[in-house]
Each structure stands twice: as structure tokens, then as C-alpha cells.
């Protein structure tokens, strides 16, 4: 799933969990099973009967014993290749009095830690990847703080670039070697759809002067392809029709990739830059020179109706072009390294070239800046009920700071007052604050939060554990696209939202 490089990154990672809760154990379970290298659980508490009731990884025999040790022992049984260790110490004591104890962890995950302590941890480790997870009742949420996150393998759908709208010279010549009219019935039914499309695009251009641009133009092209069929059951012609949409997608540099090329990190890349930016600069220079405005060709071909000889012939055309592009990018990368001892492996350069049209860069905001977008948040409260839970979680943290406990069934009014303060601190105008706090969605959120009784629910813990583990793996492997930066799951309505706070 994550290829060799991704699995290696997973095996070399060391994740720290602060507070052994039901949700925390579910997160670790979903990291241990796919082969995380090391996990450390940090908690000073002893196991209670309440813990046993809502945590699958604590059994009745462990009541009165170390919560971190008891959970670690059961989690270790899931995968002997993962190392699950524990520290029986107060996480807050560790953060405040022994911060270097957390230096070596790849990712730190906190569960139901107060906002005040989470912000302190965030300030102590501004360049470390942190997850702040909250899980109470039927609602859970998590936020991510991380340094600049680069992704080469984002695994998009329909990632294959066949260059149908602007074929390269070797593909044009290969297409010209086919004479559809002179082929017998068997050979005609085994011409790859790429050749068929390019042939009929030339016919279209001869008749209309340009490649088909609009939907109506593509309909005309489809009619031409249908007329070129000798048999209504020719699968290769049906494939050609089904891939006409690829002409609309073009082969230009996507705007998101262009933004990466235009960023200072790319423009100023040198031998001391991370390899992602060296390769981004090399590809950008390739596009502006040898590539003639095109990204390096990936060389991938989809399955298609064809005989072996014709498919391999077409495959070789794409492969040779991809190798030529790879060599050009490799040379540019070597020039940027400028004799440096740093070496970027050919495998990494090849992977970058294959995925150049889908690279991503995510700039995460620190936790301290997550609630600074007043206008956005005010709008979200009107449109998305789930953002209300994020605000009430903050209000509950303020309540805990004031009273030393979380709100219970008698504290509705005080929790509402704390929510007003949260909205005011976000600098939402006072007239809007009153409107938002009296809204039906906010009233419902406050009532539900009180009803939850500050308890974790096993099924929500399991689901949230799976989601957080999935995002953790994305960040470790630098594959697939992680959320940016907050996700809220509502088990009452079975809905989730991602907010870029």
C-alpha cells in the first residue's frame, strides 16, 4: 500500500501517545497493526473500573495497576514486529520538567489534553508533528500541527498522462505507422485506443482546423470514431470513445503545481535544500526548457484492448520518452547539487517525475493560530453544525481551567457563557456573537455536549482511532493527502467536516 519507501518510513517512526484513553488505544492499535516501528504510551494514572468499561485494551485484572503498562502489554500482542513501550509518568510533568524526553519522537498524539497544555506543547515543539485529539460522547475531533509537509505520491485517480492533446514527436511518428484502412478485421480490432484517438483527432483537425475543445466538439469526434468502426462490437473503438474526455484535461502544468514552482523554496533551491525542493526546481527548469511547457512523462499506460505486439510497441514509445525526460531532470538535479556530497537516488527522481503533476505542499498553521479567522468561523457556524462542537470543546477547556473539572449536567449556563467568551476571543463582532450563541445549531450542540457526561464511547473511539491513525500514516510516509488541519466527526448525524482553521 505504501511501497517500500513508505513501509520503511513507517517502521522507522516512533509515535508517542500522551494519555492512555479508549480513543488513544484505538489510534495505537491502528498504527501497530500495519507495522509502526515504535510506540510509547505516557500516563501516570492507575486503571479504574470506569477505564475497563470503555477501553478494550484494559482488562478487569489490571484495575489498580499502571494504565500505560497494562495497555502497552495488550497492544504489543497485536504485532510482535512493533515495539510498544510505556512511561509511567504524568505527561504534564514530562512536558514542563523534562521536555527533551519528547525530542526523539516522530509524532506526538495527545488525547483530551486541555487546550492550555496543548498550546504549551505546541510552543515547545513548533517543528514537530502534533495531533490534538478530543473525544467525548458521540463527537470526536482532532487537529494537526506540523512543519511544511511535502507529498510526492499523492495517489490521485486518473493520474495517467497520455499526451493526447499534444502528442510528442515519437508518438506522432508511431501513430503515423498505422494505416487503419489497410488493416484486416483482426488487426483493426486490436489497434490500441490511443492510436485510434490520435488518428481521428487528425481527421477532426483537417475538417475543423483545431483539436476538439468543447463538449459539442468532442461529440462530433465521437461520431467520427463510431463511423470508423467496422463492427459494432469492436472493444478498442468503444475504449477510444470512453477516453475522449482525456482530450479536455490537456497536458498543461496544473495550477497547484505551478504555485509550487513559483514559490521561493523552489526558485531558491540549492544543494542545501530538502530533496523535494531540489527536484521541484529541476522539474520546473525542465518544463521551461527541454519539456517545452510539459511536465516529464510518467510513461504509464492503462490496460487496453490490443494484441501483445501492438501494446508493447506503444508501451516502448511511452517508456523511451519517459526515460529521456528522466535523464534530463536527473542532469538538472545534479547541476543543482553542484558537486555536493548529497545524493538523490534515481528511484526518488523517477518517483518524482512519475508524480510531478500531482505533487503537494501543505503549510500547517500552529495551534495558536487555529481560531484567528473570525469571518470564516462565523460563516461556518451558520452553515456547518459540526464547527459548533469545536467551539464548545474550547469552551469546555476554559471551564476546566476555571473549575478544575469538565462541565456536567448542571453547568449548561456556565458552559454557554464560556462559549460566548470563545467567540469574543476570536474577535467576532458582539452583535454576531449574540446571533451565533442563540442559533439553533449552537443550542443543540451545548445541550448534547452536556448530555455526553464527559465519557468516551467505544464505537466513536474506534472510528476516530482509525481516522487519526490513517492521517498519522499519511504524514509519516509522505503519501496520500492528509487533512489540513482540523476534522470533526459527529456520531449523532454520522457526518464529518474538515476545516482549515
Mean pLDDT of the chain: 92
Yes or no: say if 99 and 113 are a contact pair by the CB < 8 Å rule: no
- 3-state class (DSSP) for residue 191: coil
By CB neighbour count within 10 A (0-12 exposed, 13-18 middle, 19+ buried), where does 186 fall? Answer: exposed
**Is residue 341 pLDDT above 70, yes or no?**
no
Q: How many Å apart are CA 130 and CA 403, to the nearest integer?
A: 27
pLDDT of residue 251: 66
Flag whether the pTM goes above 0.85. yes
- 3-state class (DSSP) for residue 111: strand
- Outline where 293-429 has alpha helix (H): 308-337, 346-354, 374-383, 386-403, 412-425
pLDDT of 138-159, one tens digit each? 999 999 999 999 999 999 887 7
pLDDT of residue 453: 86
Yes or no: say if 20 and 75 are a contact pair by the CB < 8 Å rule: no
For residues 271-296, give the mean pLDDT. 94
Who's near 399: CB < 8 A, 6+ residues apart?
Answer: 406, 407, 411, 414, 415, 418
Q: How many Å apart are CA 410 and CA 76, to the nearest integer?
A: 41
Q: How many Å apart are CA 143 and CA 489, to the nearest integer?
A: 12
Who's near 174: CB < 8 A, 6+ residues apart?
Answer: 195, 313, 314, 317
Return the C-alpha torsion angle 322, 263, 249, 169, nearest 10: -30
pLDDT of 382-433, one tens digit each? 888 899 999 999 999 999 989 988 898 889 999 999 999 999 988 888 888 8
Yes or no: say if 488 and 448 are a contact pair by the CB < 8 Å rule: no
Q: How many Å apart are CA 34 and CA 473, to the nearest integer?
A: 9
What letter does residue 479 receive in the DSSP assignment? B
pLDDT of 224-238, one tens digit each? 999 999 998 999 999
**Domains of the chain, earliest start first:** 3-151+456-499 (3.40.50.720), 169-249 (no CATH), 255-308+318-362 (no CATH), 367-452 (no CATH)
Instruction: Report the half-sphere exposure of 76 (CA within 13 A, side-chain side).
Output: 12
Least confident of 293-302, 352-361, 372-381, 409-418: 372-381
Q: How many Å apart are CA 88 and CA 350, to the nearest integer?
A: 46
Q: How many Å apart are CA 459 and CA 457, to the nearest integer?
A: 6
Amino acid at each position: 500500500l505504501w511501497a517500500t519507501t513508505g513501509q520503511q518510513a513507517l517502521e522507522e517512526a516512533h509515535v508517542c501517545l500522551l494519555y492512555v484513553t479508549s480513543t488513544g488505544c484505538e489510534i495505537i492499535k491502528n498504527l501497530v497493526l500495519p507495522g509502526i516501528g515504535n510506540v510509547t504510551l505516557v500516563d501516570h494514572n492507575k486503571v479504574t473500573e470506569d477505564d475497563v468499561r470503555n477501553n478494550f485494551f484494559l482488562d478487569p485484572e489490571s484495575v489498580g495497576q499502571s494504565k500505560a503498562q497494562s495497555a502497552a502489554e495488550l497492544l504489543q500482542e497485536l504485532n510482535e514486529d512493533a515495539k510498544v513501550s510505556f512511561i509511567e509518568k504524568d505527561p504534564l510533568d514530562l512536558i514542563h520538567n523534562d521536555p527533551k524526553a519528547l525530542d526523539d519522537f516522530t509524532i506526538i498524539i495527545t488525547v483530551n489534553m486541555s487546550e492550555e497544555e496543548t498550546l504549551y506543547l505546541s510552543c515547545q515543539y513548533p517543528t514537530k508533528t502534533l495531533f490534538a485529539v478530543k473525544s467525548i460522547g458521540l463527537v470526536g475531533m482532532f487537529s494537526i500541527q506540523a512543519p511544511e509537509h511535502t507529498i510526492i505520491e499523492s495517489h490521485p485517480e486518473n493520474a495517467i498522462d497520455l499526451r493526447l492533446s499534444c502528442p510528442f514527436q515519437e508518438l506522432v511518428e508511431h501513430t503515423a505507422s498505422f494505416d487503419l484502412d489497410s488493416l484486416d478485421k483482426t488487426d483493426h480490432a486490436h489497434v490500441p485506443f490511443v492510436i485510434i484517438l490520435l488518428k481521428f483527432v487528425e481527421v477532426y483537425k483537417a475538417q475543423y482546423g483545431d483539436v476538439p475543445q468543447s463538449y459539442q466538439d468532442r461529440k462530433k469526434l465521437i461520431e467520427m470514431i463510431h463511423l470508423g468502426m467496422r463492427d459494432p462490437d469492436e472493444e478498442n473503438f468503444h475504449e477510444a470513445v470512453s477516453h475522449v474526455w482525456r482530450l479536455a484535461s490537456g497536458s498543461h502544468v496544473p495550477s497547484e503545481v505551478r504555485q509550487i514552482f513559483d514559490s521561493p523554496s523552489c526558485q531558491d533551491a540549492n544543494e542545501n535544500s530538502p530533496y523535494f525542493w531540489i527536484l521541484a526546481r529541476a522539474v520546473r527548469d525542465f518544463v521551461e526548457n527541454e519539456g517545452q511547457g510539459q511536465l516529464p512523462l510518467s510513461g504509464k499506460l492503462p490496460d487496453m484492448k490490443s494484441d501483445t505486439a501492438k501494446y508493447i510497441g506503444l508501451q516502448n514509445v511511452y517508456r523511451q520518452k519517459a526515460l529521456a525526460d528522466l535523464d534530463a531532470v536527473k542532469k538538472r538535479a545534479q547541476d543543482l547539487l553542484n558537486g555536493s556530497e548529497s545524493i538523490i537516488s534515481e528511484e526518488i527522481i523517477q518517483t518524482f517525475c512519475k508524480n510531478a503533476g500531482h505533487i503537494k505542499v501543505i503549510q500547517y498553521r500552529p495551534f495558536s493560530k487555529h481560531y484567528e479567522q473570525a469571518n470564516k468561523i462565523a460563516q461556518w457556524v451558520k452553515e456547518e453544525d459540526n464547527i459548533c462542537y469545536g467551539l464548545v470543546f474550547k469552551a469546555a477547556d476554559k471551564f476546566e481551567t476555571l473549575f478544575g473539572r469538565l462541565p456536567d449536567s448542571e453547568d449548561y449556563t456556565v458552559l454557554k457563557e464560556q462559549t460566548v467568551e470563545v467567540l469574543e476571543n476570536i474577535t467576532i463582532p458582539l452583535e454576531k456573537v449574540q446571533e451565533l450563541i442563540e442559533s439553533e445549531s449552537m443550542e443543540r450542540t451545548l445541550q448534547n455536549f452536556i448530555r455526553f457526561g464527559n465519557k468516551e464511547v467505544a464505537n466513536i473511539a474506534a472510528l476516530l482511532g482509525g481516522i487519526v491513525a490513517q492521517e498519522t500514516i499519511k504524514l509519516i510516509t509522505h503519501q496520500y493527502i492528509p487533512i489540513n488541519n482540523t476534522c470533526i466527526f459527529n456520531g449523532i448525524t454520522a457526518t464529518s467536516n474538515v476545516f482549515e482553521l
